[in-house]
Amino acid sequence: MKNRVVFFDTTLRDGEQAPGFSMTVDQKIAMAKQLERLGADVLEAGFPIASEGDFESVRRISQELRGCAIAGLARTKKEDIDRAWEALKHAKRPRIHTFLATSDIHLKHKLKKSREEALETAVQWVRYAKSLTEDVQFSAEDATRSDFVFLAQIVEAVIDAGATVVNIPDTVGYAVPDEFGQLIRTLRETVPNITKAVLAVHCHNDLGLAVANSIAALQNGARQVECTVNGIGERAGNASLEEIAMILHTRHERLKLTSGIAHAEIYRSSQLLSNLTGVYVQRNKAIVGSNAFAHEAGIHQDGVLKNPLTYEIMTPVSVGIPESVLVLGKHSGRHALSKRFSEMGCRLSREELDRVYTAFTRLADKKKEVYDADLMMLLQQETPETSAAYVLEGVQVLSGTQLIPTATVRLRRSGETEENSSTGDGPVDAVCRAIDRITGFPARMTEYTLNAVTKGKDAMGEVLLQIEYRKRIYTGRAASTDVIEASARAYLHAVNQAVFHHERSATEKR
Per-residue pLDDT of 168-178, as tens digits, reads 999 999 999 99
CATH of domain 6-277: 3.20.20.70
- For 216-235, how does the pLDDT look when each residue is reduced to its tens digit (9 = 90+)? 999 999 999 999 999 999 99
What value does the mean pLDDT take over residues 270-281?
Answer: 85
Q: CA angle, corner 449, sides to 494 and 375, nearest 5?
A: 75
Q: Give the separation between CA 114 and CA 170, rounded to whole angstroms.
A: 21
Confidence label for 100 from pLDDT (cuts 50, 70 and 90): very high
pLDDT > 70 fraction of the chain, expressed in percent and rounded? 85
Cβ pair 209, 175 in contact under 8 A? yes
Residue 328 has pLDDT above 60, yes or no: no
Cα atoms found within 13 Å of the Cα of residue 12, Cβ hemisphere only: 36
Cβ pair 54, 32 in contact under 8 A? no
Q: Give the separation between CA 126 and CA 141, rounded to whole angstroms.
A: 15
Q: Say what the pLDDT of residue 270 is.
A: 92
| Higher per-residue pLDDT: 498 or 73 | 73
* Residue 229 CA from chain centroid, whole number: 12
pTM of the predicted model, to two decimals? Answer: 0.68
Q: Give the separation between CA 444 and CA 271, rounded to whole angstroms.
A: 54
DSSP letter (8 states) at residue 279 = -
DSSP letter (8 states) at residue 295 = E
Residues 6+ apart with CB under 8 A from 491: 431, 432, 435, 445, 465, 467, 476
At position 272, the amino acid (one-letter code) is L
Confidence label for 22 from pLDDT (cuts 50, 70 and 90): confident
Q: Give the separation between CA 67 and CA 108, rounded to whole angstroms.
A: 41
Cβ pair 433, 420 in contact under 8 A? no
Q: Give the separation between CA 24 and CA 28, rounded to whole angstroms.
A: 6
Of the candidates 286, 488, 475, 473, the residue with the CA atom closest to the CA atom of residue 395: 488
Residue 286, exposed/middle/buried by CB under 10 A (0-12, 13-18, 19+)?
Answer: middle
Indicate the domain borders of the chain: 6-277, 294-381, 391-509
Length of the chain: 510
Confidence label for 21 from pLDDT (cuts 50, 70 and 90): confident
| Average per-residue pLDDT for the chain | 87
Neighbours of 211 (CB within 10 A): 23
CATH 3.40.718.10 fits 391-509, yes or no: no
Q: Say what the pLDDT of residue 1 is.
A: 52
| Higher per-residue pLDDT: 320 or 308 | 320
Cβ pair 14, 231 in contact under 8 A? no
